[in-house]
Structure 1
Amino acid sequence: MKANNKVIVVTGGGNGVGRELVLQLLAKGASVAAVDINKQALDETLRIAGCPQKLSLHVADITNYEAILKLVDEVVAKHGKVDGIINNAGIIQPFINLRELKMDQIDRVMNVNYFGTLNMIKAFLPLLQKRPEAHIVNISSMGGFLPVPGQSIYGASKAAVRMLSEALYSELLNTNVHVTVVIPGGIATDIKKNSYGSSKSAPEEQKNSNMLLSPAKAASLILKGMETDKYKMIIGKDANLMNLLYSFSPKAAISLMNKVMAANSH
């Protein structure tokens, strides 16, 4: 589905990849409803965008289904229709093992990453099915197929998003609603800071690593996948490398990931 003249809802539109998705969609001629729980972050996206008439801001908690039903009404009232949703919003967990995680931390990750995505799909799908063509893009993660030490629940939530997306693709096959699941590797964002209040941004040398995607590049690849109707996209050098290794030897891939994570923790 080409973005031009479409109305697309983007969650997590206040920063990182979500903000880049909003800006690039606007540049492609789309109207965008940017959704985030952080009003200040949304206001900054609006400032960067230059206050275009095609952009609307919506403060909403995607974990609250009733709030998302209201969001549907808000977006339709502003734009008159909805042609696509990009479920980009997501958080990670603190880098600690499962035994150390508190249940409220577990609930928060599952609620944002999995149930937030599910809420958006359930609420917007009836509208999408009325359009001549429509698209759902769900952002999973490399952690959804390869276990990452200290990110067990994050990985489980993203694996659930991946399977939900694949099942939804099957259910909507040969209909007007297409589905793309994106599996990115590392992206140079402040997800740790935004997820659980870490006071530190990612180090610049980490953000500049040639193995990491920039938010702008990640957004560009995601939109290319939507516009060319990709079913599944693995993006990023690290994700493609680990996917290849994992397909041949899961144990070797897990061992390598453990070594990489251990080296980066110092």
Structure 2
Amino acid sequence: IMQDFTGKTVVITGAGSGMGRAYAKAFAALGCKVALCDVDREALAETQRLIRADHCLFMHVDVADANEVLEFSQRVEAELGPAHIVINNAGIEGSAQPSWKTSLDTYRRVMEVNYFGVVHGTRAFLAQLQSHDESWLVNVSSIFGLIGTPNHTDYCGSKFAVRGYTEALMCELKGSPVNVLLAHPGGIATNIARHDFNQRFAQHYLTTSPEAFVEALIAAIRKKRHRLVFGAGSRKSALAARLLPLGILSSVIWREMKNIIDTRHYPNK
């Protein structure tokens, strides 16, 4: 069981801010070699200024582009050695509008980053992970990969996809050196809610610090757990998803969220 992280190569996507930056700082402090990427060059440069580690790799990568992720993986292996831990963390917010107001382009972009980014990261690094006696693949879904919420059909769709992909992958990798951890963060206080129309939601729900989530994730790896549900509202949501009939669950979710989402496009509500 992986207890000592010293010298391990840890790959983190979306490392320019939020949980990605918190992962980077935590694993660097544990003596790891860290390979960090982000699509935002300025944000990644700020992370680079904050990281104190002997062996680091920073690269501008759009995880929606399979070729860029593959190039990143090749540089990681050449410069830091094969990855021991890969955290497919990169993600973007959705439209925060009802499905009938969300463009197909938005659906595609959210899916390309949030879902295909995970697929690309997994495929690019899997051979490296399999080269060790023990390794970890961490795919980040969301509590919105456990419950469906209004104004988030694009985001929920992508995070449910990550969940399904990862649970199936977990079956496929049983008996291999690769341990798979499926993460469902609750309301983590990051800047993922960048748009004005998401601010009321963010202020109400995104209250758990990224550092607290990262601490829980490192503990989950040490305990060899395969699912992590952690953060504001996460346990309540997971329990409701497991126990409530879907019709009742959707009514409960609407009552919970109707006062903190944009309801202008719901004339019958």
How far apart are the structure 2 equivalents of 1:81 and 1:147? 37
CA contact (8 A) 1:212 1:238 kept: no
Task: Tell me, yes or no, if the aligned pair for 1:8 and 1:30 is still in contact at 8 Å.
Answer: yes
Provide the secondary structure at the position in 1 that maps to 2:59. Answer: strand
1:248 CA displacement: 2.0
Once residues 239 and 198 of structure 2 are traced to their aligned partners in structure 1, the CA distance between those partners, rounded to angstroms, is: 31
1:221 maps to which residue?
A: 216
One-letter code aligned to 1:206:
Q
8 Å CA contact 2:151, 2:261 repeated in 1: no
Instruction: Give 1:212 shift.
Output: 2.9
SS of equivalent to 1:33? strand
The CA distance in 2 between the partners of 1:85 and 1:95, in whole Å, is: 29
Q: Pick closer, same or farther for the CA change 1:200–1:32 going to 2, 3 Å.
A: farther
Measured in 2, the distance between the counterparts of 1:222 and 1:202 equals 26
SS in 2 for 1:183: strand
| Structure 1 residue 252, shift from structure 2 partner | 3.2
SS in 1 for 2:258: helix
The answer to whether residue 71 in structure 2 is matched with residue 76 in structure 1 is: no
Aligned: 1:56 with 2:53: no
CA deviation string 1:210-240 (max 9, x = no partner): x731111111112222222211111124111
Give the TM-score normalised by structure 2: 0.90
- The residue type equivalent to 1:128 in the other structure is L
CA contact (8 A) 1:137 1:226 kept: no
CA contact (8 A) 2:146 2:237 kept: no
% same residue: 30
Deviation per CA, 1:75-133: give whole Å up to 9, x if none: 12220221120011111211101111111111000000111100111111011111121
SS of residue in 1 equivalent to 2:229:
strand
Corresponding position of 1:35:
37
Give how far 1:36 is off. Answer: 0.4
Question: What corresponds to 1:148 in structure 2?
Answer: 149
Greater mean deviation of Cα atoms: 166-175 or 254-263: 254-263
Amino acid at match of 1:98: S
Give the CA deviation at 1:64.
0.8
The CA distance in 2 between the partners of 1:239 and 1:200, in whole Å, is: 22
SS at match of 1:35: strand
Matching residue's letter, 2:35: A
Q: Specify every segment of 5 or more residues in structure 2 that has no aligned partner in the other structure, as ranges.
A: 263-269
- Partners of 1:201 and 1:6 lie apart in 2 by 37
More displaced 10-residue stretch of structure 1: 9-18 or 214-223: 214-223
Aligned-CA RMSD value: 2.0
Which residue in the other structure is 1:118 paired with?
A: 119
Whether 2:255 is the aligned partner of 1:253: answer: no
Give 1:255's aligned amino acid: S
User: What's the TM-score, normalizing by structure 1?
Assistant: 0.91
Q: Is the 8 A contact 1:190 1:202 kept in 2?
A: no
Contact 1:242–1:253 under 8 Å retained in 2: no
Q: Distance in 2 between matches of 1:62 and 1:237?
A: 27
Please, which runs of 5 or more residues in structure 1 have no aligned partner?
none
Amino acid at match of 2:28: L
Cα distance, 1:34 vs structure 2:
0.8
Measured after TM superposition, the shift of residue 263 of structure 1 is 1.5
1:163 maps to 164
Alpha-carbon offset, residue 40 of structure 1 = 0.9
Range moving further from structure 2, 224-233 or 86-95? 224-233
Secondary structure of 1:146's partner? coil
Are 1:96 and 2:112 matched, yes or no?
no
The one-letter code matched in structure 1 to 2:19 is V
The answer to whether the 8 A contact 1:8-1:82 is kept is yes
